[in-house]
Amino acid sequence: MGEAARIVVDPGEFAGAAAAWIAEAINHAVAAQGSCALALAGGSTPQPVYRALARPPYDQAVVWERVRVYFGDERAVPPDSPDSNFGTARESLLRHLAIPEKQIFRMEAERADREVAAAEYARLLPQRLDLLILGMGPDGHTASLFPGSPALDEKERRVVTVIGPKPPAARLTITPPTIAAAEQTVVLVTGGDKAATVERVLRGPFAPKDLPVQLARSGTWILDKAAAGLAE
Ligand code: 6PG
């Protein structure tokens, strides 16, 4: 595992700094290959970042028409539910941008047969995401890969169903091979309540079965000072 790249910013600068980093990474992928396969994280932490990306300068400075949008996980709720990762991202980010509808791929986790939904989503995911955005729970989970979950042993399938401890419990999630294959991964973390976990994840022994977000340990971590354990 390589040393994580860490970017630590003042809490008030978190959204702007993360948006700038993500915008540059997307534009880099578009410049290199003509498109960018981007996977969004759920949870509350990325929402201010998404709102920043939806506003000037990033609403125009990114070639959004060339971006294909995927999700790292989804809860088994309809897209209009406030718990839907897609629905939340649509409001904070997607509906403000010029991304063609057919380039937005939500996980249909509310379907009666989630196994089929997982298999179908795995087929439409590209072999390699260009940019994977992840969050981290205080227990070290990421996407819907929770500590101790059998999904962490998955070696082949790229999307699986899980029942997690965080409500809504029934979910779809990407798996370790999908995270490993991503060209770039960025983990967004804020708040002093996550500082001790950040420390264990970045400096402790590599044990992703206990701390799943360690699967992204060699990615870029954007932290506010509180999450980085730095006193204000
Ligand atoms: C989800 C997420 C999850 C999230 C973390 C952090 O759907 O629940 O994708 O992995 O990123 O739980 O959530 P917060 O940013 O709300 O703390």
Q: How far is ligand 1, taken at its centre, from the CA of residue 27, in Å?
A: 25
168-218 tens-digit pLDDT: 999 999 999 999 999 999 999 999 999 999 999 999 999 999 999 999 999
> 84, 141, 175: which to mutate for ligand 1, most atoms within 8 A of CB?
141
- Answer yes or no: is pLDDT of 94 > 80: yes
What residue ranges line ligand 1, CB within 6 angstroms? 41-45, 72-73, 85, 135-137, 141-144, 166
Residue 166's pLDDT band (cuts 50, 70, 90):
confident
Q: Ligand 1: which of 74, 106, 166 to mutate, judged by most atoms within 8 Å of the beta carbon?
A: 166
Whose C-alpha lies nearest to ligand 1, atom 4? 43
Residue 1 has a pLDDT of 41
C-alpha torsion angle, residues 52, 54, 58, 64 (rounded to 10): 140
Which mutation among 14, 40, 45, 145 tests ligand 1's pocket best, with the greatest number of atoms within 8 A of CB?
A: 45
Tokens, residue 153:
């042993």
Instruction: Tell me the per-residue pLDDT of 65-86, one tens digit each, with 9 for 90 and over.
Output: 999 999 999 999 999 999 999 9
Q: What DSSP character marks residue 217?
A: T
Where helices occur in 93-182 by DSSP H, the ranges are 114-124, 176-181
Distance CA 122, CA 28 (A): 25
Residue predicted with more confidence, 232 or 152:
152
Atom number of ligand 1 nearest to Cα 166: 8
Q: Give the model's pLDDT for residue 56.
A: 97
Measured distance CA(187)–CA(139) in Å, rounded: 15
Return the ligand 1 atom nearest residue 188 CA: 15
Long-range residue pairs from 194-201, CB within 8 A, at least 24 positions apart, any chain: 194/136, 194/138, 194/227, 195/226, 195/227, 195/228, 195/229, 196/229, 197/136, 197/138, 197/139, 197/140, 198/136, 198/223, 198/227, 198/228, 198/229, 199/229, 200/140, 201/136, 201/140
Asked if pLDDT for residue 231 goes beyond 70, the answer is no
